[in-house]
């Protein structure tokens, strides 16, 4: 088959849409990702040359690392399992896609602290120790687990399941066919949760548990030396380098083998659906009731919002720009990786910043800013910080969704569209709009909650909502924090409803 | 003509905005306390304040790192810190210049060359839940942490890995020596004193009744008192060595862009120290050596700040070895 532009079929039908502009843009995206790491590398090297102190992880620290890995792994797997349980049970509900943004937008720190305080109030095993830390952190990551479960369910082949149903009972179809098919995607998603969990020390510390990130953070606090922090982060980077390619390979294989389908979940019984609804309801109700109890009066609620209006506007604006750039950077990169399987290692490589403590990203960008002759670049630093941290996730989601686009439509476009640009604009983009919407929403939610790296690059006269929230938390103004948290969730819920009303549901053709 | 007037108006406004005096301040004093004071300075002087705030979670380290990274092209004019260790460290790197603003603080709270000046202080105190502890059982000494008369796991403090607790650990090494300090913290750990990620968490757990009492900063304790929590504040070891005090500092950056405005801000902040104490940001005024939280007086450790800075790396490493495992 020869396409209208004279080319012949490439490894994937999406390759037709890959023009020179897209390739250049994808290269720029990768370069963008490299800049903070380059800045960090230069900063560390200059410290080495200057004879600054450095240290490698001690045996004691490596012992703590093993415990941390076990803990974070169990949190990730539990969050994925429970998230899949809820996602599968409620997938046919039309309101789920609208609810997802509201679940994701509340920053992890607020979610986890809320659940930590709930556990403390419950007492017993929930108030101290590894069990308490496990439950608080697992529940805080549940929204991400639900999102990943939703994506995993989207890869199921309806025809395969229907054929299996002829020969097996529903339960056997689920355990022997459906679960093995989606397991790679679930495991790949759990990798992301694992990396987020292993970098958190606040929740384990509240319950008296020592984790490896505490070691990193203590060293950072004591020395302020990025070289020491980078060296102590090496085990996490090595772990990511080992695990990410394995998980990626599993995910690539799973996504490649499953053509786009309309999902059917005949193995989800009414009891499962009810249990999922109850679980989600409890998950939503507990923090909301806790938040609303702290808010006080309606006047207090609006006063809090008024006081924080500057930060709210600035944060929403920064997160929106960052999310848009994540889409603009992630989509071309995903297109390149989808077109040329030999380049998929790039997706894995750009995921490495997920294993770095956020302040290191901020330090790298500060170094980059020093290279610029003028300060004009500086006002964009908070945006760049969020993009560096989260556009790898955007690339992954775009890549997964590109595999699911109707191949027939792509091939038809390749034959009938007069040029790559027209095909890209009038065929590929419309087919990808739902995926791009999801990427934007996820990137927006994560960018809104970003603090560790942003603290190092916020410009004078500007402030972010998370800075205000953390200051209010320190001050003990639980009511103000609750008001801001509920406000964010309300915005996300409205955005989710708008997205669903404007487009079709993710799981319907 | 109307179009021309409109364009002239826009241009004039832009010029006016560009020519408005401004000062850039990096501050780790809680935004809740510092922002209103900075706004007051703006109104009083017409100088626009561009602030960069910090959060307790980063323990001032982030701001200090930024100042160090920007030292060749400083953006900040003033560094207003709620503690002193990072200020001392940055002073050693030559980031500051004398502001020339006189201070009435005691000698140990300023430098002879005027590179930085002490501004407000907080004390390390016990916050006690009155519903759980009778007055006769109130803790009076650091040695009471984990004492047998309190239920196991019902006393707490922040991990001595960062923030003011880490500074206190370094001060203990400077005062009592490394061996005694290690023995103290080993005993703390063995007695199952709850070690928490921050002083505000200690406060919250004491207020909620999860802890009978905890060691925290006086500003955190003040916040609990202000919100009507059933708590009492006790300064430890007043019959013996006294308690540790963390003082804030203010300094002007070398080669800053707005030196005159910076001096005015520093002068304003020093004059407003008592108001900072009144709002609860600090509990001890260094200008007139009065302590609002303990009007009868407060006995404090007498250790040179430079000695604490010297012991900090050693102390920090020992605390990591002890508590991160």
**A375 CA: distance to closest CA in chain B (Å):** 10
B225–chain A Cβ distance below 8 A for any pair: no
Give the pairing of strands B245-253 and B78-81. Answer: antiparallel
Residue with tokens 């950077």: A329
Joined tokens for residue A41: 């590398």
Q: In this complex, which of B68, B200, B324 lies closest to A473 when CB atoms are compared?
A: B200
Count other C-beta atoms under 10 Å from residue B10's C-beta. Answer: 10
B-interface mutation test, from A122, A214, A224, most B Cβ less than 10 A away: A224
Cα separation of A220 and A247, whole Å?
30
Give the pairing of strands B116-129 and B213-217. Answer: antiparallel
Higher pLDDT, A359 or B310: B310
Cβ distance of A222 and B195 shorter than 8 Å: no
3-state secondary structure of B290: strand
> What's the average model confidence in pLDDT over B172-185?
95
Read out DSSP for B95-113?
-EE-------S-GGGB-TT
A-interface mutation test, from B35, B55, B189, B211, most A Cβ less than 10 A away: B55
**B284 CA: distance to closest CA in chain A (Å):** 18
Burial-class residue B9 by CB neighbours within 10 Å (0-12, 13-18, 19+).
exposed
3-state secondary structure of A451: coil
pLDDT of B213 reads 96
Q: In this complex, which of A121, A458, A476 lies closest to B52 when CB atoms are compared?
A: A458
Cα separation of A354 and A240, whole Å?
8
**A76 CA: distance to closest CA in chain B (Å):** 22
Count other C-beta atoms under 10 Å from residue A31's C-beta. Answer: 10
pLDDT of A37 reads 84
Q: In this complex, which of B56, B207, B323 lies closest to A474 when CB atoms are compared?
A: B56
Across-strand partners of B157?
A: B195, B215
Distance set, CA B195 to CA A273, A458, A505, B55, B162 (Å)? 42, 31, 48, 20, 12
Instruction: Render pLDDT for B52-92 as a digit per residue (tens, 0 to 9).
Output: 998 776 667 788 888 998 888 899 999 999 999 999 999 99
Cα separation of A434 and B319, whole Å?
51
The conformation of residue A427, written as its DSSP 8-state character, comes to: I
Cβ distance of B52 and A218 shorter than 8 Å: no
Q: In this complex, which of B76, B197, B323 lies closest to A202 when CB atoms are compared?
A: B197
**A27 CA: distance to closest CA in chain B (Å):** 29
Read out DSSP for B112-140?
TT-SEEEEEEEEEEEEEETTTS-GGG---
Distance set, CA A294 to CA A119, A300, A474, A482, B159 (Å)? 17, 10, 15, 6, 27
B227–chain A Cβ distance below 8 A for any pair: yes
Higher pLDDT, B228 or A398: B228
Residue pair A468/A484 in contact by the 8 Å Cβ criterion: yes
Burial-class residue A366 by CB neighbours within 10 Å (0-12, 13-18, 19+).
buried
Of A282, A263, A13, A74, give the one whose Cα is nearest residue A151: A263
Instruction: Render pLDDT for A442-483 as a digit per residue (tens, 0 to 9).
Output: 788 888 888 888 888 889 988 888 888 888 877 777 778 888
Cα separation of B242 and B240, whole Å?
6
Terminal-residue alpha carbon distance, chain B: 76
Cβ distance of A128 and B153 shorter than 8 Å: yes
Element (H, E) at B150: none
Count other C-beta atoms under 10 Å from residue A167's C-beta. Answer: 9
Joined tokens for residue A19: 């023009």
Cβ distance of A120 and B194 shorter than 8 Å: no
3-state secondary structure of B289: coil
Instruction: Render pLDDT for B13-52 as a digit per residue (tens, 0 to 9).
Output: 555 555 689 999 999 998 889 999 999 999 999 999 999 9
Q: Does A384 score more than 60 pLDDT?
A: yes
Distance set, CA B255 to CA A252, B66, B69, B112, B252 (Å)? 55, 16, 14, 20, 9
Cβ distance of B316 and A222 shorter than 8 Å: yes
**B37 CA: distance to closest CA in chain A (Å):** 15
Higher pLDDT, A139 or A413: A139
Residue pair B157/B145 in contact by the 8 Å Cβ criterion: yes
Count other C-beta atoms under 10 Å from residue B242's C-beta. Answer: 16
pLDDT of A1 reads 40
B170–chain A Cβ distance below 8 A for any pair: no
> What's the average model confidence in pLDDT over B99-118?
82
pLDDT of B127 reads 97
Q: Which residue of A has its CA nearest to B60?
A: A221
Q: Does A315 score more than 80 pLDDT?
A: yes
How many angstroms from the chain centroid is the CA of residue B285? 13
pTM of the predicted model, to two decimals? 0.86
Joined tokens for residue A220: 């950072």
Q: In this complex, which of A205, A375, A467 lies closest to B159 when CB atoms are compared?
A: A205
Distance set, CA A246 to CA A124, A250, A423 (Å)? 39, 6, 34
Joined tokens for residue A492: 């996300």
Cβ distance of A455 and B323 shorter than 8 Å: no
Which of A93-107, A426-440, B86-100 shows the lowest per-residue confidence on average (mean pLDDT)?
A93-107
Instruction: Render pLDDT for B215-272 as a digit per residue (tens, 0 to 9).
Output: 999 999 999 998 899 999 999 999 999 999 999 999 999 999 999 999 999 999 999 9
B54–chain A Cβ distance below 8 A for any pair: yes
Cβ distance of B201 and A470 shorter than 8 Å: no
How many angstroms from the chain centroid is the CA of residue A368? 25
Distance set, CA A96 to CA A19, A80, A276, A491 (Å)? 36, 17, 12, 16
Instruction: Render pLDDT for A217-274 as a digit per residue (tens, 0 to 9).
Output: 888 888 878 888 889 988 888 887 777 777 777 666 665 544 444 554 666 778 888 8
Cβ distance of B194 and A128 shorter than 8 Å: yes
Across-strand partners of B196?
A: B158
Cβ distance of A476 and B210 shorter than 8 Å: no
Q: In this complex, which of B198, B210, B319 lies closest to A120 when CB atoms are compared?
A: B210
Q: Which residue of A has its CA nearest to B57?
A: A470
Of A82, A71, A69, give the one whose Cα is nearest residue A208: A71
Q: Which residue of B has its CA nearest to A466?
A: B55
Distance set, CA B59 to CA A471, A497, B24, B168 (Å)? 12, 40, 20, 14
Residue pair A304/A484 in contact by the 8 Å Cβ criterion: yes
Cβ distance of A370 and B203 shorter than 8 Å: no
Residue pair B30/A474 in contact by the 8 Å Cβ criterion: yes
Alpha-helix residue ranges (DSSP H) falling in A9-157 = 20-49, 59-90, 96-105, 108-122, 129-140, 142-153
Distance set, CA A36 to CA A218, A381, A389, A453, B63 (Å)? 23, 11, 10, 11, 19
pLDDT of B301 reads 93
pLDDT of A426 reads 78
The b-or-e profile of B27-51 (16+ CB within 10 A means b, else e) is bbbbbbbbbebbeebeeeeebebbb
Residue pair B182/B318 in contact by the 8 Å Cβ criterion: yes
Q: Does A9 score more than 50 pLDDT?
A: no
In percent, the amount of chain B with pLDDT more than 70 equals: 93
Cα separation of A164 and A108, whole Å?
40
Count other C-beta atoms under 10 Å from residue B272's C-beta. Answer: 17
Cβ distance of A121 and B32 shorter than 8 Å: no
B-interface mutation test, from A221, A371, A451, most B Cβ less than 10 A away: A221
Which of A227-241, A280-294, B116-130, B209-223 shows the lowest per-residue confidence on average (mean pLDDT)?
A280-294
Joined tokens for residue A32: 């963008």
Joined tokens for residue A488: 């964010």
Count other C-beta atoms under 10 Å from residue B186's C-beta. Answer: 11
Cα separation of B149 and B264, whole Å?
53
Q: Residues of B with CB below 8 A from A455's CB?
A: 54-55, 58, 62
Q: In this complex, which of B58, B72, B325 lies closest to A60 when CB atoms are compared?
A: B325
3-state secondary structure of B323: helix
Cα separation of A248 and B176, whole Å?
54
pLDDT of B136 reads 93
pLDDT of A94 reads 67
Cβ distance of A64 and B194 shorter than 8 Å: no
Cα separation of A478 and A295, whole Å?
7
């Amino acid at each position: 088959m020869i396409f209208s532009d004279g080319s012949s079929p490439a490894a994937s039908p999406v390759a037709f849409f890959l023009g020179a502009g897209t390739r250049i843009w994808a290269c720029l995206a990768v370069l963008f990702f490299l800049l903070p790491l380059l800045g960090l590398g230069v900063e560390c090297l200059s410290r080495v040359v200057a004879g600054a102190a450095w240290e490698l992880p001690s045996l004691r620290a490596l012992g703590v690392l093993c415990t941390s890995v076990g803990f974070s792994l169990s949190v990730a797997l539990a969050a994925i399992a429970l998230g899949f349980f809820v996602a599968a049970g409620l997938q046919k509900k039309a309101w789920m896609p609208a609810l997802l943004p509201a679940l994701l937008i509340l920053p992890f720190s607020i979610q986890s602290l809320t659940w930590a305080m709930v556990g403390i109030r419950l007492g017993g095993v929930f108030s101290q120790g590894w069990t308490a830390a496990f439950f608080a952190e697992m529940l805080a990551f549940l929204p991400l687990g639900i999102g990943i479960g939703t994506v995993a369910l989207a890869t199921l082949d309806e025809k395969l399941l229907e054929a299996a149903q002829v020969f097996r009972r529903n339960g056997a179809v689920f355990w022997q066919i459906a679960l093995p098919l989606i397991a790679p995607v679930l495991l790949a998603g759990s990798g992301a949760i694992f990396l987020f969990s292993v970098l958190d020390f606040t929740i384990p510390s509240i319950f008296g548990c020592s984790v490896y990130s505490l070691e990193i953070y203590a060293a950072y606090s004591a020395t302020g030396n990025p070289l020491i922090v980078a060296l102590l982060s090496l085990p996490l980077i090595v772990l990511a380098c080992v695990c990410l390619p394995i998980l990626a390979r599993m995910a690539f294989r799973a996504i490649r083998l499953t053509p786009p389908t309309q999902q059917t979940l005949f193995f989800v019984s009414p009891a499962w659906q009810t249990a999922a609804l109850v679980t989600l309801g409890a998950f939503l109700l507990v923090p909301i009731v806790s938040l609303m109890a702290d808010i006080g009066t309606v006047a207090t609620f609006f006063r809090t919002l008024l006081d924080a209006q500057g930060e709210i506007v600035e944060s929403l604006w920064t997160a929106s720009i960052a999310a848009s750039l994540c889409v603009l950077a992630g989509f071309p990169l995903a297109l390149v990786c989808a077109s040329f399987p030999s380049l998929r290692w790039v997706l894995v490589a750009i995921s490495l910043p997920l294993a770095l403590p956020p302040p290191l990203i901020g330090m790298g960008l500060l170094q980059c800013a020093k290279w610029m002759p003028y300060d004009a670049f500086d006002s964009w630093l908070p945006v760049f910080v969020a993009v560096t941290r989260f556009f790898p996730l955007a690339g992954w989601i775009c890549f997964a969704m590109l595999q699911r686009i109707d191949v027939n439509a792509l091939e038809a476009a390749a034959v009938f569209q007069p040029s790559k640009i027209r095909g890209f604009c009038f065929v590929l983009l419309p087919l990808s709009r739902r995926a791009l919407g999801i990427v934007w929403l996820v990137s927006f939610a994560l960018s809104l909650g970003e603090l560790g790296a942003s603290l190092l690059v916020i410009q004078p006269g500007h402030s972010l909502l998370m800075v205000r929230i953390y200051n209010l938390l320190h001050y003990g103004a639980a009511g103000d924090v609750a008001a801001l948290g509920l406000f964010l969730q309300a915005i996300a819920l409205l955005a989710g409803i708008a997205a669903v009303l404007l487009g079709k549901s993710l799981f319907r053709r | 003509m109307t179009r021309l007037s409109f364009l002239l108006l826009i241009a004039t406004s832009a010029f006016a905005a560009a020519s408005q005096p401004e000062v850039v301040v990096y501050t780790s004093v809680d935004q809740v306390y510092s922002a209103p004071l900075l706004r007051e300075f703006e109104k009083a002087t017409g100088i626009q304040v561009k602030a960069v705030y910090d959060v307790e979670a980063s323990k001032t380290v982030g701001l200090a790192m930024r100042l160090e990274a920007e030292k060749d092209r400083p953006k900040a004019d003033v560094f207003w810190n709620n503690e002193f260790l990072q200020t001392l460290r940055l002073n050693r790197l030559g980031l500051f210049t004398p502001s020339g603003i006189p201070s009435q603080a005691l000698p140990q709270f300023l430098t002879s060359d005027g590179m930085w000046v002490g501004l407000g202080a907080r004390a390390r105190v016990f916050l006690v839940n009155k519903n759980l502890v009778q007055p006769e059982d109130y803790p009076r000494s650091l040695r009471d942490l984990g004492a047998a008369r309190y239920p196991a796991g019902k006393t707490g403090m922040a991990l001595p890995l960062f923030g003011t607790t880490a500074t206190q650990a370094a001060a203990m090494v400077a005062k009592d020596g490394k061996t005694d300090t290690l023995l103290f913290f080993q005993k703390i750990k063995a007695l199952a004193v709850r070690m928490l990620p921050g002083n505000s968490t200690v406060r919250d757990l004491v207020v909620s009744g999860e802890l009978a009492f905890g060691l925290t900063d006086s500003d955190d304790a003040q916040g609990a008192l202000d919100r009507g929590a059933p708590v009492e504040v006790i300064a430890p070891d007043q019959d013996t060595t006294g308690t540790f005090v963390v003082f804030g500092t203010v300094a002007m950056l070398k080669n800053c862009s707005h030196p005159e405005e910076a001096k005015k801000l520093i002068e304003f902040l020093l004059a407003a120290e008592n108001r900072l104490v009144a709002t609860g940001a600090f509990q001890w005024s260094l200008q007139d050596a009065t302590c609002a939280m303990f009007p009868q007086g407060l006995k404090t450790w007498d250790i040179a700040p430079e000695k604490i800075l010297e012991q900090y790396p050693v102390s920090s490493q020992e605390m990591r070895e002890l508590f991160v495992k």
